[in-house]
Amino acid sequence: MLNPEVIVYTSRNCDDCEKVIGKLNEWEIKYEERNVSENREYFKELQGNNVYGTPAIFINGEKILGYQIRKMKQKLGIKEKPQYIDIDSMNFS
């Protein structure tokens, strides 16, 4: 997906918020972080979307609540890398 609009609502002392931000940085996705602990207006925006917790991610207006890697990848168009098992190297004896 080319240049998705990504807004991440975070709060202080939120481990899952840090994980979300870390993944977005790892994937080199541009995003806007809105910390609801530091800005009351961001908290009101979040409540206006019927969301009362963080992290809350909006990707092109679509909401993802919490740390949900698969949903984030899907909305961002990031393909899962297939995991192969090398049965030739396995010992079945």
Question: What residue ranges do the domains of the chain occupy?
Answer: 6-76
Q: What are phi and psi of 73, to 5 degrees?
A: -60, -45
| Residue-wise pLDDT tens digits, 4-45 | 999 999 999 999 999 999 999 999 999 999 999 999 999 999
For residue 9, give the nearest of 41, 39, 35 by alpha carbon.
35
Q: Which two tokens stand for residue 85?
A: 């098992």
**pTM as predicted:** 0.83
Q: In this structure, which topology does domain 6-76 adopt according to CATH?
A: Glutaredoxin (3.40.30)
